[in-house]
Structure 1
Amino acid sequence: MRSRRVQLLVALLLTALWAAGIYAAHANGHLRFLDRLEATLTDWRTQIRGVQHPPDLVTIVAIDDTVVKRGGSYPLPRADLARVVDTIVQFKPKVVAIDLLLVDRSAAIGDATLANTLATGPMVLAAAAIFPSASETVEPSSDGPLAALPQAERFLLPLPSFADHAEVGVVNVATGQSGSPLAVPMLFRTRDKVELSFPLRVAARALDQPLTVAPDHLMLGDRTVPTDRDFALPITYYGPRRTIRTVSAQSIFDGTLSRAAIEDRIVVIGAAVAGGGDFYPTPFDSLMPGVEVISTAITHLVAGDGILRDRRVRIADAFAAILLPMLLVGLLAWRRSALGIMAAAAVMIAWAGLNGFAFTHGVWLNAATTLAATVPPVAIFASAQLWAGGRRAQYLAAKSRSLARLQAPAVQEWLARDPHFLSKPVRQNAAVVFIDLSGFTALSERIDPDALQEILKAFHAQIDKTAVDCGGMITGFLGDGAMILFGLPRTMPDDAARALTCAIELHRGVERWIASLPPAIGDQLGFKIGAHCGEIVASRLGESHQHITATGDTVNVASRLMEVAARNDARLALSNTLLDAADFHGAPDGVLTGPLLTQVRGRSGVVTVWFWRDRDGPVQDHTKAEAVD
């Protein structure tokens, strides 16, 4: 038991170290394959949650295929874009956000027209961060909450003629390993400058609240905006494209734009042109326009309905990644059976259910890291348990086979059900059969020990087969003899009948066996059998090595009946008590002679004895009473 506890403690310690290592490695930017797995699991959870109705705060004015067909070119000419913006401004939106990079000069008249239009209303223009490589770098000498921001090489900013009339925000999104945007960074930096993201600029302007950067979150006025590490805003999609209210910019050129779609709303102008390149795969749509991804982030910021994945959630992830595998290993060790497996499976299902429930209610608990921390140690421990269980099963099977050589099958089954069987002596009725070889001691002095062992093994095998066939229990081999008990593990109505059958079958079987031996050996051997029934005391004797036995007058009489058989030139002596209990009235293939009234050694009183032989055996007269010693 102590060894098993030590093994369990070692297993739990190794599991905890593995889980902590997996979590730390992933948190520090390693094990990137887990990001792809997490993205897949996030898509599944989003689909399970289903399509949601977004807060009706944002209208997307899409520069789509219809607009391009009308104008005949893409990007949209600056004069046409100015007309779109001017029409929208006339309907008095809260803010107009242009998700288009206005970084190159165009026709002078078009640029001037657009610049003048941008000055007529609250505007936010898009910029882009350019990173030196796919691996974002961090300024090592910086300190404070902005030290861990992704460092860009430079920003692509709108032309100064446009930027002078509007606020500017960086429009980049974080796609990760899966290509699906799971978060939008809120802050970007170069070596000497920090820029706000496009959605954050739009939300701050729409809410008309100042922005405060705290160590692990943002503040819009007095409202907290929880963010993930590096001030990234996790996003979860409401549904497929156009789930957020979307109108075509063509409605402006046609004069059909509804004022209700614009007035007092956040309006985001962006491209949705097939082949334009600004599309991303999402859980509900394989080609989601980038402008709708940005609009989703804006809606989260303004409505406060984004999914929560902040420092507190990451702490919960760390606890789950470490404690879940330890709990599962503990459950598998607690019960090395189907119960332990069922308990571990129930915990795993409960964790998956809790994770899914939290996601559908706005808390994004990591699933991939917890699975990576859990599955390998649990699988290894379960395999070790199965291997150890197999070894234990082999050990128990070997012990069972050993027990089978010493105990009757019925007693084995009874001991398995009741390990305390006969731990206290029991007085009950039973039938007892004794058999013993004659001449074996003299024979052992003259033949090789190996040959003698083979003779004894064959004799024991004959006894064992007959006893098992008749349902008896061999309580022990006494050298060249044996004691067979009928009445354990419990008394049966036919105990005496089965004992009588066993005695007769032993007579016949051993007689045939002796006849099959070489004459030099067989002529030296004989046997004698005694059988009686009555009250016995059954018990288990011994301490570390116990055996079941029976004592009492009935056992003594059965043993002494072998002497009576030998004195009367017979091989099988049966007490009258046994015959009466077995309701025996003779058999067509055997001869019963007697009765003989005799006294047995070590007991006062007279016993009535009968002798049985095969019908073809020699005739003997045992009808006279034997002299009492």
Structure 2
Amino acid sequence: MSSRRVQILVALVLTALWGAGIYAGHANGHLRFLDRLEATLTDLRTLARGVQRAPDLVTIVAIDDTVVKRGGHYPLPRADLARVVDAIAQFKPKVIAIDLLLVDRGAGLGDAVLARSLAAGPTILAAAAIFPTASSSVARSGGEPLTALPQAERFLLPLPAFADHAEVGIVNVATGQSGSPLSVPMLFRTGDKVELSFPLRVATRALDKPLTIAPDHLMLGDRAVPTDTDFALPITYYGPRRTIRTLSAQNVFDGTLDRAAIENRIVVIGASVAGGGDFFPTPFDSLMPGVEVVSTAITHLISGDGILRDRKVHIADALAAILLPMLLVGLLAWRRSTLGLVAAAAVMVAWAALNLFAFTHGVWLNAATTLAAAVPPVAVFAGVQLWAGNRRTQYLTAQSRSLAQFQAPAVQEWLARDPDFLAKPVRQDAAVVFIDLSGFTTLSERTDPDTLQDLLKAFHALVDKSAVSSGGMITGFLGDGAMILFGLPRAMPDDAARALKCSIDLHRAVQDWMASLPPSIRDQLDFKIGAHFGPIVASRLGGSHQHITATGDTVNVASRLMEVAAQHDARLALSDRLLDAADFLGDPDSTLRGPLRTQVRGRSGTVTVWFWRDERQPGQAAAEADMAG
């Protein structure tokens, strides 16, 4: 397995472990900051879903500011509350639910009057669970299902005079860190005692169905009520306050209570007095009366339109927390480019759309946990990818610089476009120039190695400059010599002309350079150049480390022309084929001697050679170049 595959596999495993750890940590009561994020995201999804029409099952009779102004004080006197209950009972509701804590004795005969009113009809009273901390503590241990219930310190129950004539339910709601109620616990316990919630009592009485507590849900008769793992009912709001039908209790005192709003309905009596304290922030309303929150839960239980967040949904959340980050990391690893980023972004958009779609259709998939599981590993992996990409770019740039030292720029560009360039040998016409320092071997026997290295560097720099400026390709430095090829990556009409120019430039540059050397070195060195034009075979040689070269008679003749130059006391020998192909008309600062028909070593037949001589003084070319600059 390649190193990259191992790295990707390790990244995927670590990503999966991270996602599993995030989900497990949050599910076990840690990472509470995710609750605030989830509450915010839930509010946004609720707003995106928009206001919905509430099932017309519940009527709220609100003890509001109008009622308080009439009576002059709050809480409402027990006798007045009894009057409200009596008026409602006359219209035969299914059940009267009183969302008021009747835990203190009232003044005068009011308690007795209210007790008689409660005894006249099906009534549910609110009680409160008192917890040792500000929030309910929930056991997360395994075992019996009821061990996961909110553990109350004690229950604050209505006075016995009232409780003897009505059923009692716990009215507490569970709020997130944002203060918005996200669920309503259906069951509470203290010690060995279990109490039903206020909404559950109301729904059970209104439906007249037996309640069964299953391991992970509730049953109202034969209808299942999905709940969260701690038997809490997730709630989602229909809209702002008064979305659920709401009447003022003042209608009772005015004698204008609407029978149609009461008869055969669930009636919830509760307070909506400004400054009363029983308000909660919700997505649609910053001050939602607690009685409407409770009524929302009752409506969910009766109509079955609540949002689903049960064990199966939590399994889906766990899978999303593990698989989504792995998919994103896999996409970034698969395509380390814009395509990978676009694919990962598309997956995130698709996940967000699916999450919103599920929420608007009654399934509450956790968003905060999945984001916490996905964003950090994806950000880290993308950062590592970016760093590795920069390192690779630097490496490739360094390689390109190194290649530039061995291959002509035109050949580099050609290889980048066509990696198979010269994979098969190509026969074509080309010009070949050879240059060699004579006397260098003898000089090396008595000269310091560092000095020799400096000499070679300077000589190679001159050759490289002349070759590049003429558009030639150095196929290789042969110690104290070099071979320059004109005709790659493709043959050009001026290959011979450029080879001739290169030969002359090399002659003058090396001549001036040698004139600048110390006499002890200059007197031992000389140079020879041979140039020829004709057919060659260009190819790539080598296995894993290849180089481009040319072979054939033209190459051999160009090399042997250096010997011919030495034999005739010349430094530059040019074949007549090169001069003809270059269409050379002469140079006022030079002379041509020849033609000479001669044989070259290792070849039958003759070659016509011309010897080029520079008529300028050594250093004149450099001086003219400086003046031109």
TM range (shorter): over 0.9
Distance in 2 (alpha carbons) for counterparts of 1:614 and 1:255: 127
Say which is worse superposed, 88-97 or 173-182, in terms of deviation. Answer: 88-97
1:354 match: 354
- Determine whether 1:300 maps to 2:280: no
How big is the alpha-carbon RMSD for the aligned residues of Structure 1 and Structure 2?
2.1
* Displacement after TM superposition at 1:491 (Å): 2.5
- Aligned partner of 1:235 in structure 2 is 235
What pairs with 1:168-567 in structure 2 (closer than 5 Å)? Answer: 168-567=168-567
Q: Secondary structure at the match of 1:435?
A: strand
Residue 611 (structure 1) aligns with: 611
**Using the alignment, how far apart are the partners of 2:592 and 2:90 within structure 1?**
128
Change (3 A) 1:141 1:54: closer
Give the AA of the match of 1:302.
Answer: I
CA change 1:62–1:591 in 2 (3 A) is: farther
Using structure 1 for the length normalisation, give the TM-score.
Answer: 0.93
The offset of 1:291, in angstroms, is 0.9
**Inter-partner Cα distance in structure 1 for 2:225 and 2:286:** 29
Aligned-partner residue type, residue 201 of structure 2: R
Any idea what SS the aligned residue of 2:145 has? Answer: coil
| Whole-Å separation in 1 of the counterparts to 2:224 and 2:260 | 30
Contact 1:139 1:191 in 2 (8 A): no
The answer on whether the counterparts of 2:204 and 2:220 sit within 8 Å (CA) in structure 1 is yes
Give the residue type in structure 2 aligned to 1:569: D
Q: Distance in 2 between matches of 1:546 and 1:8?
A: 32
1:597 & 1:343 partners in 2: Cα distance? 72
Deviations 1:238-288 (A, max 9, x none): 222222222222222223333232233222111111111111111122211
The CA deviation string for residues 435-478 of structure 1, in whole angstroms up to 9 with x for no partner, is 11122222222221111110110000111122122222111000
Displacement, 1:589? Answer: 4.5
Q: How does 1:59-70 map to 2 (within 5 A)?
A: 59-70=59-70
> Which residue identity lines up with residue 398 of structure 1 in the other structure?
A
User: Hey, what's the Cα distance between the residues in 1 that align with 2:542 and 2:371?
Assistant: 53
Secondary structure of 1:462's counterpart equals helix
Structure 2: distance between partners of 1:604 and 1:464: 33
Letter in 2 for 1:540: R
Conserved in 2, the CA contact under 8 Å of 1:475 and 1:549?
Answer: yes
Over 3 Å counting, the alpha-carbon distance change for 1:491 and 1:91 in structure 2 is: farther
Segment drifting more, 26-35 vs 522-531 = 522-531
- Mapped to 2, the partners of 1:352 and 1:117 lie a distance apart of 52
Q: CA deviation at 1:301?
A: 1.2
1:100 is aligned to: 100
- Bigger CA drift: 32-41 or 497-506? 497-506
Q: Distance in 2 between matches of 1:590 and 1:252?
A: 125
Task: Report deviation, 1:496.
Answer: 2.4
Moved more, 306-315 or 554-563: 554-563
Range 28-37 or range 4-13, more displaced: 4-13
Aligned to 2:622: none
**Post-superposition CA distance 1:46-84 (Å, at most 9, x none):** 122222222222222211112111111111111111222
Match of 1:147, SS state, is helix
Between the aligned partners of 2:127 and 2:273, the Cα distance in structure 1 is 20
Q: How far has the Cα of 1:235 moved from its partner?
A: 0.8
CA deviations on 1:578-611 (whole Å, 9 max, x unpaired) are: 2333333334544444333222222222223333
One-letter amino acid matched to 1:413: E
Distance 1:240 1:8 in 2: 49
CA distance in 2, matches of 1:101, 1:132: 19
Structure 1 window deviating more from structure 2 (78-87 vs 181-190): it is: 78-87
Stretch deviating more after TM superposition (72-81 or 161-170): 161-170
Partner Cα separation in structure 2 for residue 583 and residue 364 of structure 1: 85
Sequence identity (%)? 82
Q: Is the contact made by 1:598 and 1:609 (CA closer than 8 Å) also made in structure 2?
A: yes
Contact 2:235 2:296 in 1 (8 A): yes
Q: Distance in 2 between matches of 1:461 and 1:252?
A: 107
Where in structure 2 are there 5+ consecutive unaligned residues?
619-629
For residues 274 and 482 of structure 1, what CA distance do their matches in structure 2 show? 98
- Deviations along 1:106-149, one digit per CA (max 9) or x if unpaired, are 02422222222223332211111111224645689995321221
Could you tell me which residue of structure 2 aligns to residue 150 of structure 1? Answer: 150
* Bigger mean CA deviation after superposition, 2-11 or 359-368: 2-11
Query: What letter matches 1:95 in structure 2?
Result: V
Are the structure 2 counterparts of residues 64 and 475 from structure 1 closer, same or farther at C-alpha, using a change threshold of 3 Å?
A: same
TM-score (norm 2): 0.93
C-alpha contact (below 8 Å) 2:141/2:148 kept by paired residues: no
Change (3 A) 1:259 1:543: same
Equivalent position amino acid for 1:78 in 2: R
Match in the other structure for 2:16: 16
